[in-house]
Structure 1
């Protein structure tokens, strides 16, 4: 049913400031798209896109953005899954007990306190680099969701959405249980604490991890662009190197990661 992660939307108040920030962070030039009461900037990558969106006048999209920011402030708003048949996927998820609002081109789905969208699969050209390609962000590695109930997450994201659960790992040292679902050419990761008992509370978007080809070059470029970045360090997964961006635009927790061939294969 779901063929991949189409895009992730970041709701912001000031589009110009957020676009300037992500242009400097990614080292890529976005496509600007107004309409339906909202202004958007699309940063496209080979495996998905980041939609930065702000309200701009009257219209359904602008109303949704305003409602989101009034309720929860700026930040990661929704994840959109690519499907071949929006209407058919919407009917199936509704039969599986999810709250679905189906439109002509997209369907909105509420699940475990989060907002998802089903949209027709389609390809976008990768946003052109504004700096050296080696130091630009290359793709999304994974999106993180925090859940207070990992077994519920298996049922919702695995059984109902049909995402492919590749790994269910509990690590006492980190005090966390991690679920890794394959979603096209990206990973949908769900993290839960082992230090507290499961609850029926809502899930929340935890952040985004982006792939870079040369971590040292990317870290140096981002630092020079004014970002507060950590040192490049070994990642938790063998064969990876990572660094953190502490002040990413729109308040989205952001990690940069490089994987060698062995890490990608596993």
Structure 2
């Protein structure tokens, strides 16, 4: 029923500033600059190889904008939702109803690109946050051709640009409950369930459409607190080149270090990430010069 991670939604206060910072972070221009008539929001979208990133801000009157404004007031900028692609929103709603996710919808949506005038249409199904441990999850059926949202091509050397999403992180207060949600109710494939006794942490990896949803939480549940989003890890061909590019652009970035996954090198981006904890992850070794040119 869920075939991919369609996009990640990030709430921001200043859309223009957030868009500039994200273009610099990814090394790619935005794919879409739009508005949602009647919803009270404006957005920009970056379409990457395996998902898209949406920056969303209140704009005018509307129920969605009011909700985003309330979120910004209470907790600030950051990740607010994961949207999973489904080929059939009505069937998704029925399946979610059957497993106790209390869905709302399908609800048809429309977005207009404010520069080109292009229109995108979709149908969303929202799981009840009370049934998803407090995080917003929804299914989306796209009803417009994929090329209406073009892939954003690199503006920098390909080796130094973000290419795709590696994983999105959910921090769980009760990993057993979260495993039931993502594996049994949402139907995502569980690829890893591993406990780290020394750290007191248990980690689950769920795969969908070439992306991993990582769920991490304590081995011992003392308080069954709600889940919340914990950040994004972006794939780069050359971690050292990506770090050097960001440092030159004025970002605060950690030194490159060995990743938790063998054969990887990572660095953490500490600034200009719209409140999203951000990791860059790439393979060991540098990309040959011929492969890193635009």
User: TM-score range, shorter-chain basis?
Assistant: over 0.9
Scaled by the length of structure 1, the TM-score of the pair is 0.93
Alignment map for 1:168-183 (pairs within 5 Å): 168-183=193-208
Runs of 4+ aligned residues of structure 1 deviating over 4 Å after TM superposition are none
User: What does residue 158 of structure 1 align with?
Assistant: 183
1:191 maps onto 2:194 in alignment: no
Distance 2:25 2:87 in 1: 32
1:149 maps onto 2:174 in alignment: yes
Cα deviation, residue 260, structure 1: 6.2
User: What does residue 120 of structure 1 align with?
Assistant: 141
User: What does residue 32 of structure 1 align with?
Assistant: 33
User: What does residue 264 of structure 1 align with?
Assistant: none
Pairing partner for 2:69 from 66, 70, 75: 66
Cα deviation, residue 238, structure 1: 0.6
User: What does residue 235 of structure 2 align with?
Assistant: 211
Distance 2:185 2:175 in 1: 14
Distance 2:168 2:29 in 1: 22
Which 5+ residue runs of structure 1 have no aligned equivalent? Answer: 262-266
Q: Which protein shows a greater Rg?
A: 2
Pairing partner for 1:81 from 38, 59, 84: 84
C-alpha contact 2:5 2:83 (8 A) present in aligned 1:
yes
Distance 2:28 2:268 in 1: 19
CA distances 1:35-58 after superposition (whole Å, capped 9, x unpaired): 332111101101000000111111
CA RMSD, aligned part only?
Answer: 1.6
Distance 2:166 2:260 in 1: 14
1:101 maps onto 2:119 in alignment: no
SS of the residue 1:178 aligns to: strand
C-alpha contact 2:191 2:206 (8 A) present in aligned 1:
yes
Larger strand percent? 1
Scaled by the length of structure 2, the TM-score of the pair is 0.84
Which 5+ residue runs of structure 2 have no aligned equivalent? Answer: 109-122, 286-294
Aligned length: 260
